[in-house]
Structure 1
Amino acid sequence: MNIGIVWILLIITSLNVPITTTRALFTSQTKIKTTISIGSQFDNSSLSFISTGREKNEIFAYIQNEGTGDMGVDSKYYIYYSPNGNPVSPQGGTGDLVYQGIIPKMVASAEPVKLTFTPTMKGFYMFMAFQNHEKPIGEELIIEGTPVIVSKKINVNQLK
C-alpha cells in the first residue's frame, strides 16, 4: 500500500510540472561599433601681426589670419605695458596688463584687422594675440596653456 501511495503521488506531481521548450536563434550578422568624437579641432588658422605703430594719440597693430582655414571662434588679445624694456619677454614674462580685447573670427587670408589702444603712460607697449587653443604647439610662446604671438615693441615717449 505504501508503494501504491508513493506511486500515485509521483503521477500527480509529474502532471503538475509545466512543460516548456527552449529556443535559440543564431544569426550570421556582424555588429560594427562606431565612435563619433565631438569637440573642437584645430581650424588651420594662424594669426600674425603684420605691422605695429603709433598714430596721434593711439597705438595700433594690424593682425591677419595667414592660415589655410577660417577661424572657428573669436580670439582674444592683451596689451602689456612696461615703463622701460620689453613688456613681454621671449620667455613669457610680462609687464603690466593694461587692456584686453576680442579679435573677431577672420577668414583665411582676409584683410588685416586693426587693433587700437590709447596709452595713458609713457613707456613701451606690446600686443599679444592668442592662437586657437587646438593649434599644435611649435616654436610659439605659450601663455595660459595656449600658443600666442607677440607684436613688436611700441615706444610711447610722449603723450599728446
Structure 2
Amino acid sequence: MFISLNLTSTTNALFISQAKIKTSIEAGPGFDYSTLSFTNASYDSNEIYAYIQNVGPGDMTLNSTYYVYYSPNGNPVGPHGETGELVFCEGVIPKMAANGAPIKITYTPLKKGFYMFVAFQNHEKLIGNELLIEGSPVTVSKKINVNK
C-alpha cells in the first residue's frame, strides 16, 4: 500500500529595510553688517537709473536684488511698504565693500508715470527708515518722473 501524505507548510519571510537619510541644514550667513542706500536717482532720455552704495560697516557677503515699481500717478512705493505695479524684478546688486563706491543700476521704462527702485537688504530686521516688502527689509530710491 502506498500512503500519500501531502505536507504543506507556510514559510514566512520578514524583510526589514532601513534607509538612512542624510540631512544637512545649511544656515545662511548672518547679518553681514552691510546696509544699502540710494545716493541718487534720475531719468535721462532713455532709461531711469539710481546709484546705490553699501553704507554699512561691513562688506556684503551675498549679492542682493532690486525691483522697479511703477505708478501712473503718485508713489510707486508708499511710506508703509504698499506698492504699485511691479515692472521689473530681475536686477542683481553685486557684493559691495563697506563704504565703497556707489554702483549704477538701470531700467528702461515703457510708459509715462512714476518709478522707484527697491533694493533688498541682506539682513532680516529693519534698520533706520527701511520698509518691509514681501517680508524683507528694503531701501527705496526717490520717486522718478518719466514724461516720455
The answer to whether the superposition gives a TM-score over 0.5 is yes
Name stretches of at least 5 consecutive residues in structure 2 with no aligned partner. 1-25
Q: Deviations over 1:12-53 (max 9, x none)?
A: xxxxxxxxxxxxxxxxxxxxxxxxx95421111010000000
Does 1:143 find its partner at 2:133? yes
Residue aligning to 1:153:
143
Distance change >3 Å, CA 57–CA 42, structure 1 → 2: same
Distance change >3 Å, CA 85–CA 42, structure 1 → 2: same
1:1-160 superposed matches below 5 A: 39-100=28-89, 101-134=91-124, 136-138=125-127, 139-158=129-148
The structure carrying a bigger helix percent of its residues is 1
Letter in 2 for 1:149: T
The DSSP-based 3-state class of the residue aligned with 2:116 is strand
Aligned Cα RMSD in Å? 1.5
Structure number with greater Rg is: 1
Residue aligning to 1:15:
none
Q: Indicate the percent of aligned positions where both proteins have the same amino acid.
A: 62
Letter in 1 for 2:38: F
Letter in 2 for 1:128: V
Name stretches of at least 5 consecutive residues in structure 1 with no aligned partner. 1-36
Q: Which moved more, 1:121-130 or 1:37-46?
A: 37-46
Q: Deviations over 1:61-114 (max 9, x none)?
A: 000001110001010110000000000001111111111211111011111010
The DSSP-based 3-state class of the residue aligned with 2:82 is coil
Distance change >3 Å, CA 88–CA 38, structure 1 → 2: closer
Q: TM (normalized to structure 1)? A: 0.72
User: May I ask how many residue pairs the two structures share in their alignment?
Assistant: 121
Q: TM (normalized to structure 2)? A: 0.77
Once the two structures are TM-superposed, the CA of residue 157 in structure 1 deviates from its matched residue by 1.2
